[in-house]
Amino acid sequence: MLQILKSGRFNEASEDMLNLAAKILSYNTLFVAVHDQLTNDIIQVTNRDETIITVGQLPFIDTYCRHVTATEEVLVIDDTSEHPLTRALSVTQTLGPTAFIGCPITLSNGERIGTVCALNRLPFSFNDEDAEVIKSVAHFLSQVAEFEFSVYTERTMGVFRRPYLERIFTRWVETGPGPISVLVIHMGSGQLVRGLRGLSLTDEFFIEATKRLQGVLPKSAVLARTNDTEFTVLIPTGTEKAVKTAEEIVATFRSPVQFSPYPVILRPYVGIASVPESAHNFRDLLGRAAAAAYLGLRELKGAVTLHRPEEKKSAGRILKIAQRLSKALENQEFCLHFQPKFAIDDRRSLVSAEALLRWPQPDGTWISPAEFIPVAETTGFIIPLGRWVLEEACRQNAAWQRMGYRPLLISVNISPRQFESVDMADMLQEILENTQLDPKWLSIEITEGLLIRNSDMVADTLNRIREMGVTIAIDDFGKGFSSLAYLARFEPQVVKIDQEYVASMLQNPKYFTIVAAAINLAHNLGMRVVAEGVETEAQWAALEGLHCDAVQGYLMARPLPAENMQEQFLVKRAPLSLNVR
Ligand code: C2E
Ligand code: MG
Ligand code: MG
């Protein structure tokens, strides 16, 4: 905090105020000092007649200022060599006997951050008018400090904000040619916490994160919180040392944060950019480090990612998406489309529909979910977004039933990050209750990536979901590791063959064999099979020959807005017979 007072408006204001006070007071020396528990730092001095004091630091314990900050208002000492508080101090030996007056600079929360003081050679004594002048200077400076802190720091957390980083960066560039690195530390789970449990807890959560970070950062580092879920660190070192620091940061978060009542494991992703390799100005440097952090997660490059100049373009787009995503839910920019799935032996027999997320853009284009879902996973935004998709799909499905349409199974995609970050079974239960939808009309599509981790937590949650009556489908089967063992362990009711296999099965006999084997295997385990991405009659016929159960693809229908789905594919229930005898 001393840094802020020493290098900004507070320092300039101190100089101005001393010049003003100098016109009114009799004095030999007039000065402003700021302090922490260890150091007293004299930041502005005016001397008259002789130089008694100069700008510089002294141990706090050995100063008059320490006694001033322990005083409620103004401390007046007529002779420092006689007074019990000052006579034994070594400064008194150095300065010789003087008359002294000092007033603490006190913030509105009672914190003492510095002092305004004057000294005069004896014989002399400071009077009430002098005390009033010193008091008003101290009062004015406390207001300047208050303002500076509000601009540059998060008061609750004792960390800086972005404008301060920028100032320090400029100072470092001005004062030396050394390398500077910036680390952007992305804490996806912060958003998770906010999404789940209300804003007020975010502070508690970040205070803990701040403590851990401060525990591993070198002394020269400047830590700032730059966003809800993001910290930024500026260090006057090159890339190599910055990488080491980043690795320590990742290591310090390996143990769970005890976040009552749940322990939460934070997985920070750190992006690093350095001057001069990555950029020359602060904005670019920060942007590139942030982009590197996103790339780290999206492309699974690991928790620490260095910015590489050639990644600039794709990183820029990812960053833009990440920024806009965080507002898009609030602004109700998303909607759902529905893609029908049909029984293979009857093209008019609708068996289910998949809810697919859509994000229309102001210019009439769409950003593909294949592009923005991974970004949302990186930022943790997938948690509130995924919840919205589930709520909206269930709400729409229940509304269709109330309107008299035949009930329809609707499937919703759940990303692995989303599944692992919340209690999915509890969340489904809550949403089904809120929307009054019978669980048998909901299916979730999960990917192999989730199952391959083979965790007890996943198995347990899937069991609870199955017991609730919700259908579990494996999406994109064949795309990942396709371990047969997990089909037996996790017992999904539906397997969806990945569209790449469907697209290639008629050209490539090996793919055909794999599709045939997968269908057989799933049937033998009592599962139904859906083929995705069916685009041609020939594919349909081949899948029918292999006894696939259902098909989904452009051949029958593209994903449609809810109104079109309703008009084109939903069927009204037969009216109840009223012929009661
Ligand atoms: P997915 O779950 O495998 O969804 C099927 C994708 O294939 C959809 O792309 C669909 O529009 C597309 N598709 C359907 N029929 C055909 C066809 O005949 N030919 C071709 N070439 N494509 C077809 P979309 O909507 O772009 O979604 C892409 C992926 O994004 C989805 O793959 C899913 O993994 C993810 N996604 C979409 N919505 C959500 C969501 O709400 N939550 C999550 N976590 N992921 C979602
Ligand atoms: Mg899907
Ligand atoms: Mg799929």
Counting from 1 in the atom list of ligand 1, the atom nearest the Cα of 337 is 25
Which residues on adjacent β-strands are paired with residue 29? 47, 119
Ligand 1 pocket, mutate which of 334, 378, 413 (most atoms under 8 A from CB): 413
Ligand 1 nearest-atom number relative to CA 447: 34
- 69 vs 64: CA distance, rounded Å: 9
- The DSSP code for 470 is -
pLDDT at position 193: 46
Beta bridge partners of 551: 342, 531
Instruction: For the beta carbon of residue 239, count every other beta carbon within 10 angstroms.
Output: 16
322: Cβ contacts below 8 Å, ≥ 6 apart: 294, 375, 378, 379, 381
Cα–Cα distance for residue pair 224/161, rounded to 1 Å: 5
- Centroid of chain to Cα 159: 16
Would you state the structure tokens that stand for residue 326, as one six-digit string?
């965080």
Extended strands (E) in 36-91:
39-47, 56-59, 75-77
* DSSP conformation class of 82: T
Contacts 24+ apart (CB under 8 A), 171-177: 171/7, 172/234, 172/236, 173/275
Residue type, 195: G
* Closest-approaching ligand to the CA atom of 373: 1
Q: Let me know the angle formed at the C-alpha of 167 by 161 and 170, rounded to the nearest 5 degrees.
A: 140
pLDDT by residue for the chain (581 residues), tens only, comes to 677 788 778 998 999 999 989 988 888 999 999 998 788 999 999 999 888 899 999 999 889 999 999 998 999 999 999 999 999 999 999 999 999 999 999 988 888 999 999 999 999 999 999 999 999 999 999 988 888 887 777 655 668 888 888 888 988 888 877 899 999 998 755 444 444 444 444 666 778 888 899 899 998 899 998 876 789 999 999 989 999 999 999 999 888 776 655 566 677 889 999 988 777 788 888 888 988 887 776 665 567 878 776 555 566 677 788 888 878 988 999 999 999 999 998 878 899 999 999 999 988 888 889 888 878 877 778 888 999 999 999 999 999 999 999 999 999 999 887 887 778 999 999 999 999 999 999 999 998 877 766 577 888 999 999 999 999 999 988 876 666 777 888 889 999 999 999 999 999 998 899 999 999 999 999 999 999 999 999 999 999 999 999 999 999 999 999 999 999 999 998 766 555 44
Atom of ligand 1 nearest to the CA of 498: 3
Nearest protein Cα to ligand 1, atom 13: 533
Distance of alpha carbon 296 from alpha carbon 294, whole angstroms: 5
SS3 label, residue 413: strand
Omega before residue 276 within 30° of 0, cis = yes
Angle in degrees, CA 553, 554, 555, rounded to 5 = 90
HEC letters along 345-412: CCCCCEEEEEEEEEEECCCCCEECHHHHHHHHHHHCCHHHHHHHHHHHHHHHHHHHHHCCECCCEEEE
- For 108-153, the three-class secondary structure string (H helix, E strand, C coil) is CCCCEEEEEEEEEECCCCCCHHHHHHHHHHHHHHHHHHHHHHHHHE
For 500, phi and psi rounded to 5 degrees?
Answer: -60, -35
Bridge partner list, 528: 494
- Is the Cβ–Cβ distance between 271 and 245 less than 8 Å? no
Note whether 295 and 274 are within 8 A (CB). no
336 within 8 A of 562, measured Cβ to Cβ: yes
Supply angle C-alpha 156, 157, 162, rounded to 5. Answer: 110
- Ligand nearest, relative to CA of residue 477: 3
Q: What whole-number distance in Å separates Cα of residue 503 and Cα of residue 125?
A: 96
For atom 42 of ligand 1, the residue with the nearest CA is: 413
Answer whether 508's CB lies under 8 Å from 527's CB: no
- 15: Cα separation from own chain's centroid: 40
Span from the CA of 530 to the centroid of ligand 3 (angstroms): 10
CB 46 within 8 A of CB 162: no
> Under 8 Å CB-to-CB from 386, ≥6 apart: which residues?
414, 415, 418
* pLDDT given at position 137: 93
Residues with CB under 5 A from ligand 3 (ion): 475-476, 532
**Ligand 1 environment, Cβ below 6 A:** 339, 356-357, 368-370, 373, 386, 389, 413-415, 445, 475-476, 499, 532-535, 552-554, 559
Q: Which token pair is 250?
A: 């990742």
Ligand positioned closest to the Cα atom of 558 = 1
The pLDDT value given to residue 308: 72
Maximum Cα–Cα distance across the chain: 120
In this structure, the residue with its CA closest to atom 32 of ligand 1 is 370
Pairing of strands 550-551, 153-154: unpaired
User: Which of 128, 54, 124, 126 shows the shortest CA–CA distance to 94?
Assistant: 54
Task: For residue 502, give every residue at least 6 positions away whose Cβ sits within 8 Å of its Cβ, in sequence order, or none.
Answer: 515, 531, 532, 533, 534, 539, 543, 553
Using a 10 angstrom Cβ sphere, with 0-12 exposed, 13-18 middle and 19 or more buried, the burial of residue 442 is buried
Quick one: tokens of 134? 């010193």
Q: CA 422, CA 196: separation in Å to the nearest integer? A: 8
Whole-angstrom distance, CA of residue 60 vs CA of residue 69? 11
